[in-house]
Amino acid sequence: MLSRRAVAFGLAGGSLVGCAPSRSYEDAVTPTWRLIDPDGPGFPARALVHAATLAANSHNTQPWRFAIEGQTIRIQPDFTRRTPVVDPDDHHLFASLGCAAETLLQAAPHYGWRAQIESFDRSGGVRLALERTARPDGGLAPAIPRRASTRGDYDGRPAPVAVLQALQRAGPGTVDTLLITDRARLEQATEFIVRGNAAQVRSPAFRRELKAWIRFDGAEAARHRDGLYAASSGNPTLPRALGALAFDLAFTETGETDKIVRQMRSSAGLAVFSAATNDPRGWLDAGRAYTRFALTADMAGLRTAFLNQPVEDAATRGPFAAWLGTSGRRPDLVVRFGQGPGLPRSLRRPVRDVLSA
């Protein structure tokens, strides 16, 4: 999910020279990844919507619409941005809405407001009510513009016990958060990730869908303001024709397996989130729990990245759940974490493009 894995574009027996980031990308990325100032002293609706758009989401499709109604903000699913191959039941779509809702909740105190979820509607949307509050010190808002799915290698160092305890506390509610840090268990988890990944790589439909959402160079990323910017996965940036060809040649089961094994071995641990119910409300709750976890991780200097293949592939999901011992719960999200360098960011659409009339 939620900002996909790296795609290796290096060709066997040679190398590709990537393009430098385009000026249009450079001009867009800085204002995108910061909390903006509100327009005037009143209700900071547009600033809060902008913060919510920085949330993690599947394939960076940004499958949401926002409506401002007085001092409430409604987040609705945008089914025109579905990914039906990787996400046929819209599980990740609703988890993405949960990420957006929790990001907004965490951003509100930064602007002197407090938000709470007021209701869920039958379409799967969520309504947040806001009221003024004293602007508190601390909180998770500073991590919002820093959080990203960092799909590179980490440094292999274990996370301190106090940090693991903070991560464990960050996720729950109705969602179970399972942290795996034992190296033997991580190797076993890797086997499930590799199994799910292999099924996806072998699927022509999956490959077509993933490639459609990759933005192969900065100019394409800036033009669309969505999708997976190649450089965000540590890959060369290329004009689309060349990038698509490189993808077809280099996105192989062997290459992806090697990368998954290497990146898992470089990670401090794995977190698996399982909601109480296997329905849109539960999936939304899983996205909320992940968001608190990811922001807490950032505050502790850790990177995070999704490895959702074993929950996306239906044939792998059941054995994976049994191995985890989730007591009948569906594993919703799988996230590795650790210390490592940052990578360039994918972009987000501007507020005007995600607001409903």
Q: d(Cα 234, Cα 222) in Å, to the nearest integer?
A: 18
pLDDT at 357: 72
Q: How many CA atoms lie within 13 A of 314 on its CB side?
A: 6
Residue 138 has pLDDT above 50, yes or no: yes
Chain segment 246-271, per-residue pLDDT in tens: 999 999 999 999 999 999 999 999 99
Mean pLDDT of the chain: 92
R_g of the chain, CA atoms, integer Å:
19
Q: How many CA atoms lie within 13 A of 335 on its CB side?
A: 33
Confidence tier at 25 by pLDDT (50, 70, 90): very high
pLDDT at 39: 78
What is the rounded average pLDDT of the residues 34-53? 93
Q: d(Cα 83, Cα 76) in Å, to the nearest integer?
A: 16
pLDDT at 17: 40
Q: d(Cα 333, Cα 142) in Å, to the nearest integer?
A: 24
Other residues' Cβ atoms within 10 Å of the Cβ of residue 254: 10
pLDDT at 137: 66
- Return the SS3 of 306: strand
Confidence tier at 19 by pLDDT (50, 70, 90): low
Chain segment 144-197, per-residue pLDDT in tens: 999 999 999 999 999 999 999 999 999 878 999 999 999 999 999 999 999 999
**pTM across the whole model:** 0.93
- Return the SS3 of 51: helix
Please report which residue ranges of 108-217 form alpha helices under DSSP H: 161-170, 183-201, 204-213
pLDDT at 16: 37
pLDDT at 5: 41
Chain segment 296-340, per-residue pLDDT in tens: 999 999 999 999 999 999 999 999 999 999 889 999 999 999 999
Spatial neighbors of 246 by CB under 8 A, at least 6 apart, are: 9, 11, 16, 236, 238
Q: d(Cα 152, Cα 173) in Å, to the nearest integer?
A: 30
Q: d(Cα 88, Cα 82) in Å, to the nearest integer?
A: 8
Cα(first)–Cα(last) distance of the chain, in Å?
29
Q: d(Cα 274, Cα 310) in Å, to the nearest integer?
A: 13
Q: Find out whether 35 and 283 touch, Cβ atoms under 8 Å.
A: no
Q: d(Cα 32, Cα 43) in Å, to the nearest integer?
A: 21
Place of tokens 């910061």: 34
Q: At what angle do helices 280-299 and 161-170 cross, to 10 degrees?
A: 150
Chain segment 203-257, per-residue pLDDT in tens: 999 999 999 999 999 999 999 999 999 999 888 899 999 999 999 999 999 999 9
- Report angle CA 174, 186, 336 to the nearest 5 degrees: 55
Other residues' Cβ atoms within 10 Å of the Cβ of residue 339: 17
Residue 10 has pLDDT above 60, yes or no: no
Distance (Å) of CA 237 to CA 13, 61, 342? 19, 20, 17
pLDDT at 1: 56
Q: d(Cα 252, Cα 275) in Å, to the nearest integer?
A: 32
DSSP 81: G
Name the pairing type of β-strands 176-180 and 269-274: antiparallel
